[in-house]
Amino acid sequence: MFAGGYKFDLGSNKANSANITPDSATGIGAWTEERFLTKFTQYREEKAYNYNPGNQNSIMPLSILAGIKDEDLKAIYAYLRTVKPVTNAVEKFPK
């Protein structure tokens, strides 16, 4: 659970879900709360997502998730810190 690796076929490319467990080597265990928040809040400005990512596309609706209140993002981060760490290296953009 939360260890990532679910493959999304986006047509011209594929993307795997990330390991969001607190595993320091393969998950988000080394992430600070600030880094976690920035992953979403940077998309509050259109310039962060108004481009063609090509094969680096993601299924993650970051521009929508950017609207989550900071206190809610902090609560999600705090919860994810309580999840059992799972070592699972995920290739973000498999062939």
Convert the pLDDT of each residue in 48-88 to its tens digit: 766 666 666 666 777 778 899 999 999 999 999 999 999 99
C-alpha 53/C-alpha 67 separation (Å) is: 21
Angle between helices 70-80 and 33-41 (to 10 degrees): 130
| Residue 6 three-state SS | coil
The pLDDT value recorded for residue 43 is: 83
Whether pLDDT at 35 is above 70: yes
The percent of residues in the chain predicted with pLDDT above 70, rounded, is 88
Residue 62 φ then ψ, to 5°: -60, -35
C-alpha 56/C-alpha 4 separation (Å) is: 17
Give the residue, 29 or 10, on which the prediction is more confident: 29
